[in-house]
C-alpha cells in the first residue's frame, strides 16, 4: 500500500487516548503571541504544512473562499506597522483612565519582529454566485475563512511557531498596500515566528485585564439564559467546576 493511501485510510479510524491528548495539548497551549519572537527562520516545509492545514478547513458549500498572502517585505511591514500605531492611538481615546494607560502599555503586535506576516482574505466571488448554504446566511463565507484561520493557528502551535492576530489596523490601508480588489475582504493580519516561550495563560488574563470566564457561564440549555433545565442537569453539575486541562 502506498503512503498516501495508507494515510487516507488512517483518517477514518478512531482516536486513541494518546492522540486525543496530543490534540487537546494544541487546543490548550495555543497562544496569541505578541512578543518572544526569535529571529529563527521558518522553513518552507513548515510554512507549507501550516497553510495546508488552513486549506483543509470546512467551507460553506465547499467554496474554499480563502487566500493566504505571505509577506516578508520590510517596506510592506512598515506600512502595516504605521497603520497599527495610528489605530492604536485612535482607539485609546475610546477608553478612560486608568484603563487607557494600561491599554497603551500592552505589547499588541509583532509585525516587524516576526519573520513572516500573513494576510488571510475572503473572496466571495469564488465558485459563485450560487454557493450552497450561503443564500440564507451570506456571512457564512467569511465564517469559513475564520475556521481556516483557527486551523492555521493550531497547526502553527504544533510546529512550535507562535502566531499573533493584529486587529488594530485599518482594512483600507491593508487593501491598498496588498493591492486587494474591491470585492476581496481582508479578514486577518497574522504575525508568525518561532518564540522562546509560549505563555501558560493568555497575556490579557495574566495582566488582569479580563478574567477567563467559567465554562458554566457560557453554556445554556434549550434557550437563551436557561442554566437550570432539568433535562440537562447532569452536565450542569459537571461544568460547575472548571474542567482540568484535558
> Under rule CB under 8 A, which residues in 170-189 are in contact with its own copies?
170-171, 177-181, 184, 187-188
Contact of 143 with 60, CB cutoff 8 Å: yes
Name which position in 39, 98, 183, 231 contacts its own copies (CB under 8 A).
Answer: 231
What angle do the packed helices 140-158 and 17-29 form, to 10 degrees? 110
Name which position in 97, 183, 210, 230 contacts its own copies (CB under 8 A).
Answer: 210
Instruction: Say whether residue 191 binds its own copies (CB under 8 A).
Output: no
Name which position in 36, 37, 71, 162 contacts its own copies (CB under 8 A).
Answer: 71
| 94 closest CA partner among 30, 26, 168, 192 | 168
First to last CA, the chain: 35
Residues 114-143, mask of contacts with its own copies (x by CB under 8 A)? -------x-----x--x-xxxxxx-xx-xx
Q: Which of residues 4-23 bind its own copies (CB under 8 A)?
A: 4, 7-8, 10-12, 14-15, 18-20, 22-23
How many residues touch its own copies (CB under 8 A)? 126
Contact of 52 with 151, CB cutoff 8 Å: no
- Smallest separation (angstroms) from its own copies to the CB of 76: 7
Report the C-alpha gap between 52 and 71 in whole angstroms: 17
Nearer to its own copies, 113 or 147 (CB): 147
Name which position in 40, 90, 107, 228 contacts its own copies (CB under 8 A).
Answer: 90
224: helix, coil or strand? coil
| Total residues found in the chain within this entry | 246
| 81 closest CA partner among 47, 108, 42, 121 | 108
Amino acid at each position: 500500500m502506498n503512503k498516501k493511501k495508507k494515510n487516507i485510510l488512517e483518517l477514518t479510524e478512531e482516536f486513541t487516548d494518546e492522540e486525543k491528548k496530543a490534540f487537546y495539548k494544541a487546543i490548550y497551549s495555543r497562544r496569541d503571541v505578541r512578543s518572544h519572537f526569535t529571529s529563527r527562520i521558518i522553513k518552507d516545509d513548515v510554512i507549507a504544512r501550516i497553510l495546508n492545514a488552513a486549506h483543509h478547513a470546512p467551507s460553506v458549500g465547499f467554496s474554499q473562499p480563502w487566500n493566504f498572502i505571505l509577506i516578508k517585505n520590510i517596506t510592506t511591514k512598515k506600512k502595516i506597522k504605521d497603520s497599527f500605531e495610528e489605530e492604536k492611538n485612535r482607539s485609546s481615546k475610546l477608553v478612560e483612565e486608568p484603563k487607557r494607560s494600561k491599554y497603551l502599555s500592552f505589547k499588541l503586535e509583532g509585525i516587524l519582529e516576526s519573520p513572516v506576516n500573513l494576510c488571510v482574505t475572503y473572496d466571495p466571488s469564488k465558485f459563485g454566485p450560487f454557493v450552497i448554504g450561503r443564500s440564507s446566511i451570506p456571512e457564512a463565507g467569511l465564517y469559513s475563512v475564520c475556521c481556516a484561520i483557527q486551523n492555521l493557528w493550531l497547526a502553527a502551535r504544533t510546529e512550535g511557531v507562535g502566531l499573533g492576530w493584529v486587529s488594530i489596523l485599518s482594512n483600507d490601508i491593508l487593501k491598498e498596500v496588498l493591492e486587494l480588489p474591491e470585492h476581496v475582504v481582508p479578514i486577518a493580519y497574522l504575525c508568525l515566528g518561532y518564540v522562546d516561550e509560549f505563555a501558560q495563560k493568555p497575556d490579557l488574563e495574566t495582566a488582569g485585564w479580563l478574567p477567563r470566564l467559567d465554562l458554566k457561564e457560557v453554556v445554556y440549555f434549550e434557550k437563551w439564559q436557561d442554566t437550570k433545565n432539568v433535562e440537562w442537569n447532569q452536565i450542569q453539575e459537571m461544568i460547575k467546576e472548571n474542567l482540568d486541562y484535558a
